[in-house]
């Protein structure tokens, strides 16, 4: 028993000696790493609090009047400003990387879509992204609209599908965007894909406006055409 205790003391002493030896051999490296870590963390906190936060605040202030103009349907002023207050394009240019700048891309894309500048609508809506699924759904849907207006039906179908699946809790808009995808697929002669989407609307959203009327679209594409078909 005594021998066991002695061995334990020896082992502890040896481990302590090993730790001390490791520290003596590597203390400069360890201290250097700790200092570097403190510098990085401190620098990040300083950057976040002294640069990022004030920039976000200024960007949000610049957005305030532009959003008011947008709500009042003064689209050109919302986009370009009124001479005293900045518009969305100015926020995008001068506050890149902020949340306000990201949101300004969404507003700008919607304005360009409404004013029939579809290429710029695509450009800005593709530069926008958000964790809010409901808003992202709308952005995808508007991209589908813009591509459709440009005659790029395949791209439009893709974004309508994305919109229809992004936030399924919004049954009205989800069914609407899926319907637009199906309708474009019809125009491309892709009837099988169109039927699949129409059936998805029937299954998932039977109580929506599109769900109530979708049977006629399914039936129309399901009936085999022949010489006696109504033309």
**Cβ neighbour number for residue 162 with a 10 Å cutoff:** 18
In the chain, the percentage of residues whose pLDDT exceeds 70 is 72
Q: What pLDDT score does 22 carry?
A: 54
Closest by CA to 198, choosing from 101, 190, 14, 112, is 190
Q: What pLDDT score does 2 carry?
A: 45
pLDDT digits (tens, 9 = 90+) for 27-79: 566 556 555 555 454 443 333 443 445 567 776 887 889 999 999 999 999 99
Q: What pLDDT score does 36 carry?
A: 55
Q: What pLDDT score does 227 carry?
A: 39
Q: What pLDDT score does 15 carry?
A: 47
Residues 6+ apart with CB under 8 A from 198: 179, 182, 214, 217, 218, 221
DSSP string, 65-114: HHHHHHHTT-HHHHHH--SSS--HHHHHHHSTTSHHHHHHHHHHHHHHHH
pLDDT digits (tens, 9 = 90+) for 80-114: 999 888 899 999 999 888 899 999 999 999 999 99
pLDDT digits (tens, 9 = 90+) for 173-183: 999 999 999 99
pLDDT band at 16 (very low <50, low <70, confident <90, very high): very low
pLDDT at position 186 over 90 = yes
Specify whether domain 133-231 bears CATH 1.25.40.10: yes
Q: What pLDDT score does 60 carry?
A: 81
Please give the model's pTM, rounded to 2 decimal places.
0.75
* 34 and 77 Cβ atoms separated by less than 8 Å: no
Report domain extents, the chain: 133-231
pLDDT digits (tens, 9 = 90+) for 132-161: 999 999 999 999 999 999 999 999 999 999
């Amino acid at each position: 028993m005594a021998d066991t205790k002695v061995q334990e003391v020896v082992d502890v002493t040896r481990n302590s000696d090993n730790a001390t030896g490791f520290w003596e051999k590597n203390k400069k490296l360890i201290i250097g790493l700790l200092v570097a870590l403190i510098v990085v963390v401190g620098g990040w906190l300083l950057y976040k609090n002294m640069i990022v936060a004030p920039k976000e605040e200024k960007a949000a202030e610049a957005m305030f009047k532009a959003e008011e103009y947008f709500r009042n349907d003064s689209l050109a002023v919302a986009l370009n400003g009124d001479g005293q207050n900045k518009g969305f394009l100015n926020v995008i240019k001068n506050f890149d990387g902020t949340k306000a700048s990201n949101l300004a891309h969404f507003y700008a894309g919607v304005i360009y879509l409404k004013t029939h500048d579809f290429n710029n609508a695509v450009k800005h809506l593709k530069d926008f992204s958000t964790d809010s699924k409901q808003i992202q759904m709308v952005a995808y849907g508007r991209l589908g609209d813009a591509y459709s207006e440009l005659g790029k039906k395949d791209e439009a179908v893709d974004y309508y599908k994305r919109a229809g699946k992004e936030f399924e809790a919004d049954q009205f808009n989800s069914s609407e965007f899926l319907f637009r995808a199906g309708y474009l697929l019809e125009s491309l002669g892709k009837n099988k894909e169109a039927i699949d989407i129409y059936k998805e609307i029937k299954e998932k959203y039977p109580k929506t406006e599109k769900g109530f009327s979708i049977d006629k679209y399914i039936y129309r594409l399901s009936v085999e055409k022949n010489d006696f078909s109504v033309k």
